Amino acid sequence: MNTPLVSIIIPTYNRANLISETLDSILAQTYQNWECIVVDDGSNDATSEVMVTYCVKDTRFQYHQRPKNKSKGANACRNYGFELSKGEYVNWFDDDDLMLPLKLETQVEHLKEKMVNMTVCQSQVFENSKDNVLGLRKSSIYSDDFFNDFITNKIKWLTQSPLLKRSFLLDNNITFDECLTQSQERDFFVKVLNKLSHYHYDNESYVLLRKHEKSISYGNKTPDKIESNFKVNYTILNTYRYKINTETKSYLVKFIKANLLESLKLKNKTVSSNIYQKLMEIEEISIIEKIKIYLGFLFYKYFNKGELFFK
């Protein structure tokens, strides 16, 4: 029976109170040929004690510290985990979310049968208890124009949902950008989709995403997060300018303008100045629109208002 090894790669930081439930959901998988590589980003809680317990319980678990020569952050941990992994298939996961029991078994079969490099499943959001499901993370995970529609958020998934072939990632040199603190998944999967002619999708939900105040997706905006969002949107626009359609370009410009406004509201001069300068270089923005942005930038700088200029 062909049962390829699946590498589950999890970055973690101070989640001793949550990661056990995540690891238990992996132990509950009906598919047994997996390795789970947990890379710690420098936790100072009881994460190490929890992980030692699981590594003793099941040798398929591995626990590593992020090397000191690697940048701090989940993305460096993801990339390091990938370097350590041996699986033919790869599933990145987060330390606060849950796999439903059939996830790996179902997705491994999809990759084997459909002859694709990626399969994506649906995911649902829960709060406090896995019995308190709030609904789907996104209603759609596939479209005929998946490249443009993923960029414009008409379809969406996070790292937990896809299972990918390791060879595809290696052949295309696709890794996580270690400079990003948010939108890293968006950045990563735009790079993935750029190299795919098709992928498989499954509208069944095999992932539960935890909603809580400390999660990156649901936490408060910070200058670092805003700058990361901007960087991803700006890079997509510049890198794929001749591949994306007019609607997608307009969406990205609108998004970048919103990034500038957010940074101005937080009164972060460094981030807002950087975004402003890059925004004014975008060729898709008309002279009239750039004048409006310039006025908005000045109004916020001196009067702390001017949202109308960014509409």
Q: What angle do CA 34, 77, 236 make, to 5 degrees?
A: 105
Q: Please report the pLDDT score of residue 285 as a whole number.
A: 92
- Measured distance CA(88)–CA(9) in Å, rounded: 13
CA distance 40 to 51: 10
Give me the percent of the chain exceeding a pLDDT of 70: 97
Q: Are strands 98-99 and 200-211 parallel, antiparallel or unpaired?
A: antiparallel
Q: Residue 307 has what pLDDT?
A: 85
Three-class SS state of 34: strand
Cβ-based neighbours of 275, under 8 Å, separated by 6 or more:
226, 227, 230, 256, 259, 260, 263
DSSP label at residue 183? S
Q: Classify domain 6-211 at the CATH topology level.
A: Spore Coat Polysaccharide Biosynthesis Protein SpsA; Chain A (3.90.550)
Q: Which residues of the chain have pLDDT under 70?
A: 1, 212-219
| Residue 205: predicted pLDDT | 97
pLDDT at position 214 is 59
Inter-residue contact 208 to 126 (CB < 8 Å) = yes
CB-facing half-sphere around the CA of 218: CA atoms within 13 A: 12
User: What pTM did the predictor assign?
Assistant: 0.93
Give the model's pLDDT for residue 218. 53
The confidence score (pLDDT) of residue 1 equals 64
